[in-house]
Structure 1
């Protein structure tokens, strides 16, 4: 079972691959969605959940989702067809950093996918290249709620992976972006996400005792739970920001 398969199973009960509740997703989309039949682009869309929720709320919008996970893209396409949204969303199995389109987008999303671009600011640069005039970016990124201690670092992080929230926002504004709205994931959202992640994977292993990967699934769930509860819980934060470009002087 590779990392992609583990992630796919782990997100069964929490299809938004970030510590965000359904209410938070709804609020963020209400704030972010453009009007007038604009187009949306999700860079690193995974299973396409953000686009499908956006399209269900605003049928006049059209969307493109991009991810290098061909199986996730295929599943997203099937889900969109089953929901009657297949004529409004196109999914593309390719590297999000290399995606090109003849369209310009009123909203570009990239939630928890900055690793695909080499970091936060490179992700914003890539997103900006796809924006229509006056368009917005909805981006989700981790930050340090507090300085990471040894247990957090031992869980697989480096101190310079992220900055604190204020520094993160300062870097964004210094790069020419204006925050219009932000949501900091609550401890409850984090706990729900992590319990869902580890629980979905553990349930799959219990339900498939004859599968050759069931032992690996158990181990992955246990290792993740250990890293979370004994490592980064309360230290790693997540912020989702709605941004527009600052006017050029």
Structure 2
């Protein structure tokens, strides 16, 4: 399996590809969609989990998603049909950096996909190009909640900062936080257990599959990195932002 296939399989039993629970996802969407009839864009939407939730919970919302994974987008289309929301959803198979639309969006989302733009601040600059006046951006990215060790820095990268520094950077770039959420220990642990447990279970259930050993070893490696590495200090912040000067 390639990394895209491993990611799809790992996230089978989690509501979104980020350490957020069901209630948190619904609450953040309600805060980001105050009217309930907004036009929404998800940059790096993957299988469309955020968009599908927004459409199902807000019947007047219209949504568009952008991703380079054709298989993820096909999964999103099938689920949209199953939920009866496909008439309000448009999906685009292309790079999020190259996407353009003839209209602006009331909410632009990029939760857990900021790597596609090279980090948090470049993601916000990309979102700004698509945002309607008075609109909101919802962005989610990793933060440190403790002092990271050299191993944690190696695993998670050097751009991650604590919550205060992250918010200061966002404000300095011209954004005002209007809501936010820091993932709880339960959300963080549930996410990791779900990912690596799902992969491990698949390997155990398919011992004769040619990819079984690869999937088992990948799950064990990532579980070890989490338990012996970044679990002690890493967390995840989801911010709802508005432009300071609109």
What's the CA shift for 1:150? 2.9
Structure 1 residue runs of 4 or more that deviate by more than 6 Å after TM superposition: none
User: Aligned Cα RMSD in Å?
Assistant: 1.2
In the TM superposition, 1:79-228 aligns within 5 A as 79-153=79-153, 156-158=155-157, 160-228=158-226
Residue by residue over 1:133-182, the C-alpha shift from the partner in whole angstroms, topping out at 9 and shown as x without a partner, is 1000000011111221133245x233x23111111000000000000011
Ranges in structure 2 where 5+ consecutive residues have no aligned partner:
none
Residue by residue over 1:12-65, the C-alpha shift from the partner in whole angstroms, topping out at 9 and shown as x without a partner, is 111400000101111101111142632100011111011111111111110001
Which secondary structure does the structure 2 equivalent of 1:45 belong to?
coil
What's the CA shift for 1:83? 1.1
The 1:50/1:77 distance shift into structure 2, 3 A limit, reads same
Q: Partners of 1:203 and 1:92 in 2: how far apart? A: 33
User: In structure 2, what is the equivalent of residue 22 of structure 1?
Assistant: 22
TM-score, normalised relative to structure 1: 0.96
How many residue pairs end up in the alignment? 246
Ranges in structure 1 where 5+ consecutive residues have no aligned partner:
none
Q: Partners of 1:161 and 1:128 in 2: how far apart? A: 21
Which secondary structure does the structure 2 equivalent of 1:244 belong to?
strand
Which secondary structure does the structure 1 equivalent of 2:166 belong to?
helix
| Contact 1:6–1:217 (8 Å) recurs in 2 | yes
| Contact 1:151–1:230 (8 Å) recurs in 2 | no
TM-score, normalised relative to structure 2: 0.97
Which secondary structure does the structure 2 equivalent of 1:12 belong to?
coil
What's the CA shift for 1:114? 0.6
